[in-house]
Amino acid sequence: SQKIEQNSEALNIQEGKTATLTCNYTNYSPAYLQWYRQDPGRGPVFLLLIRENEKEKRKERLKVTFDTTLKQSLFHITASQPADSATYLCALDGNDRGSTLGRLYFGRGTQLTVWP
Amino acid sequence: NAGVTQTPKFQVLKTGQSMTLQCAQDMNHNSMYWYRQDPGMGLRLIYYSASEGTTDKGEVPNGYNVSRLNKREFSLRLESAAPSQTSVYFCASRRGTSGSHGELFFGEGSRLTVL
């Protein structure tokens, strides 16, 4: 069955540094991968989507890479700020390419804390 | 626009009781989803509806039923609640259907406790 792993449950970094979060998957050939942010007591909020034929995607201070050979995505936040503290989730489409089903599976998330 | 609205936000049930979680979206989205989130387990897909009139099981469907009442509404029913169903439930919607790569829009969650 498909398996999604995010590098660690918690990551603590100092303000101004670059945070790097990892999402690995097995038994999968996703057509795309998404990253979400979740604050305590709130629903996840979409950040970025990257397709299998894209190596890198950027949005402001965020950067996502997608290596289908390594079966890995890296999510970077540059010049991190305390306001970036949240849980970050990666999500992949299910193993039903070309179907109409459109499932989306999530990793367990990495809790990022940025301290001043 | 309200986006995705879930009711109730909090609920306490006794074992064996039934209840329905309601979800409505006002974005004219085709696909709707129900997830549960437990500590250490992440978001797990319970059921989804790729389009109005269709529903399908996700990873953890046992103990749940769903109804896609119309394009806007997707409800989740617990027929006989069990303590293992204590969780935070999230409804989400997405614009597309087949092969859609679009983002999910989530509600704020419904926190259910089964005693």
Looking at residue A100, its pLDDT comes to 41
Pick from B40, B50, B108: CB nearest A102: B50
Contact B53/A at CB under 8 A: no
Minimal C-alpha gap between A33 and chain B (Å): 9
Looking at residue A103, its pLDDT comes to 78
CB-CB contact of A101 with B57 (8 Å): no
Looking at residue A81, its pLDDT comes to 97
When mean pLDDT is compared across A43-52, A77-86, B37-46, B76-85, the lowest value belongs to B37-46
Gap between the Cα atoms of A97 and A90, Å rounded: 18
Please measure the distance between the N-terminal and C-terminal CA atoms of chain A and give it in whole angstroms: 41
Looking at residue B67, its pLDDT comes to 97
Q: Which residue of A has its CA nearest to B109?
A: A43
A residues 52-111 lying closer than 8 A (beta carbon) to B: 89, 91, 93, 97-109
Minimal C-alpha gap between B17 and chain A (Å): 25
Gap between the Cα atoms of A41 and B51, Å rounded: 29
Predicted confidence (pLDDT) at residue A98 exceeds the cutoff of 50: no
Closest CA to A47 of A75, A85, A74, A82: A75
Select the residue from B104, B105, B110, B111 to test the A interface by mutation, using most A Cβ atoms within 10 A: B104
